[in-house]
């Protein structure tokens, strides 16, 4: 069927909307693909929904190909399920009640519901299973942003694997990894598989797929030699070697009046800021712990949280006074009663540290000799770090997390009693994995990666239409007739065709065609008709090519 543009709801915008910042947001709005309803809430208009559906179909084919069974769970979920896993405590969970006070949750993902169904799996003979659905997710986000980058409501493909043991889970996990690689490839997104932090709740191993873009929620760290990719939160960059001053037999106090910053300290003492250390007292549970990183590094909260397996907060000024007898800026690891977690970068060498006495620091502080820390990688990697694989330089760029895969283990199956009987008649919890892709974010990533000054450059696989036929009729019946016949011929040949039959001037049609970004464009007008031809061009090319009317199909099938 040929879609006639004169009857299509495709409201394109000539100017950039005021409240769009990200390129993907701007172009999707201007091209008439999406419209905002509220913060983090969008409607997919007809053209946008076509793109969304194409992405969905690609995902469906690839998940089916690894044995996925598509189903559909409800969005309204009894709160009881969420109480049993404890996830009801997550701040982002939307909660509501019905008229008689029964409590419900709008899921952020469907582990609870899927595990609820997995209780019908009773025997090892029924495992493994792989279930998935496309459904709406709701998140009470503190700050939605960037158009489709962070939404409060969105469609997600989430799949869940149910295996009898860890080895089975490994297989399910690897199959998803492969399927995801193929999905992003088919959608025309460049996305890298990276290690990600698994965070505080459940989950042994987690990997993300990061698509590098002009703007995004995450930061992709990559080696200049292309052999290492990671989310910055989990990246293991190698910090540069500090320039140490001469070695000292024992720590020595040095007066540093009024100095409370690393920059000030390094300048006053005339040393490399990498030869200093920075102490951050934090409270986790009811423990006060001292986190210690190199002066030029930042503490990675994700890494520390993963180490604690619990959230933490910075200690208050009062707590610091009481425990150290000094204020922030003069704190150090020597002589303190609490546990000290030191970053790996502090393992070797002598550093300047706070003396726990206002206005004083210690030179020549050496881990192992002067204090006994637990060494953990808690520094946030940064641009310029060395690659952990090849020692090349690491660079950082914004990225969109388009997919995430988790090894959940038995966290949910134990909470919800999803067990099976093995060959020996023993009851065991099902071993689970969960795997998510957001089509909206995938689309945003495609637009971020594939656009020019005039609009989107869709890959054929997910373009709203394959061919955009422009009828520059200027009232000419003959041109209209030819344009229509070209469109119908292409449609009959299996292409998705949009025919611009509107009564608009040529300039407007060209501009809209660029915005919309279909891969192939056929222009029919009086000019070319005079030599029995039409003008064609691929999106991204700067000039038309004249081809005989009769060989349009030959041209389109070149791709």
Partner RNA sequence: CGGGGUGUAGCUCAGCCUGGCUAGAGCGCCUGUUUUGGGGACAGGAGGCCGCCGGUUCGAAUCCGGCCACCCCGACCA
Among 345, 444, 524, 552, binds RNA (CB under 7 A): 524
The yes or no reply on residue 477 touching RNA (CB under 7 A) is no
Among 284, 285, 265, CA closest to 273: 265
| Nearest distance, CB of residue 230 and RNA, angstroms | 16
Rounded CA gap, 499 and 516, in Å? 13
| Nearest distance, CB of residue 87 and RNA, angstroms | 6
The yes or no reply on residue 112 touching RNA (CB under 7 A) is no
Helices and strands of the chain, counted as H and E runs: 14, 34
The yes or no reply on residue 12 touching RNA (CB under 7 A) is yes
460-463 long-range contacts (CB < 8 A, ≥24 apart) are: 460/519, 460/559, 461/54, 461/58, 461/186, 461/187, 461/188, 462/51, 462/54, 462/55, 462/58, 462/187, 462/188, 463/51, 463/54, 463/496, 463/517, 463/518, 463/519
Binding mask of the shown chain, residues 360 to 399, with x at each position contacting RNA by CB under 7 A: ----------------------------------------
Rounded CA gap, 454 and 513, in Å? 9
Q: What would the DSSP string read from start to end of 425-470?
A: S-EEEPEEEEEEE-HHHHHHHHHHHSEETTEE---GGG-S-SEEEE
Among 501, 486, 502, 508, CA closest to 556: 486
The yes or no reply on residue 39 touching RNA (CB under 7 A) is yes
The yes or no reply on residue 257 touching RNA (CB under 7 A) is no
Binding mask of the shown chain, residues 403 to 432, with x at each position contacting RNA by CB under 7 A: ---x--------------------------
| Nearest distance, CB of residue 276 and RNA, angstroms | 22
Tokens 């089509």, located at residue: 439
Backbone angles phi, psi at 450, to 5 degrees: -130, 85
Among 1, 9, 14, 559, binds RNA (CB under 7 A): 14
The answer to whether the peptide bond before residue 128 is cis (omega within 30 degrees of 0) is yes
Among 197, 216, 134, CA closest to 445: 216
The yes or no reply on residue 515 touching RNA (CB under 7 A) is yes
| Nearest distance, CB of residue 242 and RNA, angstroms | 25
| Nearest distance, CB of residue 227 and RNA, angstroms | 27
The yes or no reply on residue 454 touching RNA (CB under 7 A) is yes
Rounded CA gap, 94 and 92, in Å? 6
Report the residue number, 35 or 460, with the smaller CB distance to RNA.
35
Among 1, 100, 120, 143, binds RNA (CB under 7 A): 143
Say which DSSP state 336 is in.
-
Judged by CB under 7 A, the chain residues 432 through 451 that form the site for RNA are 434
Report the residue number, 355 or 416, with the smaller CB distance to RNA.
416
Report the residue number, 357 or 450, with the smaller CB distance to RNA.
450
Identify the H or E element spanning 187. helix 166-187
Report the residue number, 14 or 99, with the smaller CB distance to RNA.
14
Among 506, 532, 540, 548, binds RNA (CB under 7 A): 506
Binding region for RNA (CB under 7 A): 12-19, 21-22, 25, 36, 38-40, 87, 90-92, 108-109, 141-147, 150, 198-203, 215, 217, 301, 311, 406, 434, 454, 472, 474-475, 505-508, 510-515, 523-529, 535, 537, 544
């Amino acid at each position: 069927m040929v879609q006639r543009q004169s009857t299509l709801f495709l409201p394109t915008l000539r100017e950039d909307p005021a409240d769009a910042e990200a390129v993907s947001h701007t172009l999707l709005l201007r091209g008439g693909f999406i419209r905002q309803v509220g913060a983090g809430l969008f409607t997919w208009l007809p053209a946008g929904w076509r793109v969304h559906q194409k992405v969905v179909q690609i995902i469906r084919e690839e998940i089916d190909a690894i044995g996925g069974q598509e189903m559909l769970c409800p969005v309204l979920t009894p709160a009881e399920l969420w109480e049993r896993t404890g996830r009801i405590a997550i701040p982002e969970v939307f909660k509501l009640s019905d008229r008689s006070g029964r409590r419900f949750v709008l899921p952020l993902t469907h582990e609870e519901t899927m595990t609820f169904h997995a209780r019908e799996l009773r025997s090892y003979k029924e495992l493994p299973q792989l279930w998935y659905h496309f459904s709406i997710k709701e998140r009470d986000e503190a700050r939605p942003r960037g158009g489709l980058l962070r939404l409060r409501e969105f469609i997600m493909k989430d799949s869940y694997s149910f295996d009898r043991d860890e080895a089975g889970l490994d297989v399910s996990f690897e199959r998803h990894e492969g399927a995801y690689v193929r999905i992003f490839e088919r959608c025309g997104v460049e996305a890298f598989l990276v290690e990600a932090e698994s965070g505080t709740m459940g989950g042994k191993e987690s990997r993300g797929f990061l698509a590098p873009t002009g703007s995004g929620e995450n930061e992709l760290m990559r080696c200049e030699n292309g052999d290492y990719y990671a989310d910055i939160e989990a990246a293991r960059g190698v910090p540069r070697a500090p320039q140490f001053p001469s070695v000292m037999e024992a720590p020595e106090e040095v007066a540093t009046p009024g100095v409370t910053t690393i920059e000030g300290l390094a300048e006053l003492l005339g040393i490399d800021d990498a030869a200093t250390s920075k102490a951050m007292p934090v409270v986790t549970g009811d423990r006060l712990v001292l986190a210690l990183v190199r002066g030029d590094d930042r503490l990675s909260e994700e890494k520390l949280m993963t180490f604690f397996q619990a959230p933490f907060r910075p200690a208050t000024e009062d707590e610091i006074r009481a425990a150290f007898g000094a204020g922030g800026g003069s704190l150090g690891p020597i002589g303190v009663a609490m546990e000290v977690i030191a970053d790996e970068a502090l393992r070797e060498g002598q550093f300047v540290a706070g003396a726990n006495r206002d206005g004083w620091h210690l030179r020549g502080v050496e881990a192992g000799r002067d204090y006994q820390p637990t060494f953990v990688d808690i520094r946030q990697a940064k641009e310029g770090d060395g690659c952990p694989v090849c020692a090349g330089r690491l660079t950082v760029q914004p990225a969109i997390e388009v997919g995430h895969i988790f090894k959940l283990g038995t966290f949910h199956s134990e909470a919800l009693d999803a067990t099976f009987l093995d060959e020996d008649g023993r009851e065991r919890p099902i071993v689970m994995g969960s795997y998510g892709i957001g089509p909206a974010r995938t689309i945003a990533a495609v637009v971020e990666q594939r656009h020019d000054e005039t609009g989107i450059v869709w890959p054929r696989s997910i373009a709203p239409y394959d061919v955009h036929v422009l009828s520059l009729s200027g009232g000419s019946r003959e041109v209209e007739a030819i344009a229509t016949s070209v469109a119908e011929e292409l449609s009959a040949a299996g292409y998705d065709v949009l025919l611009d039959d509107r009564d608009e001037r040529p300039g407007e049609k060209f501009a809209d065609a660029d915005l919309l970004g279909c891969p192939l464009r056929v222009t029919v007008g009086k000019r070319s008709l005079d030599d029995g031809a039409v003008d064609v061009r691929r999106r991204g090319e700067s000039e038309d090519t004249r081809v005989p009317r009769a060989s349009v199909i030959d041209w389109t099938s070149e791709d």
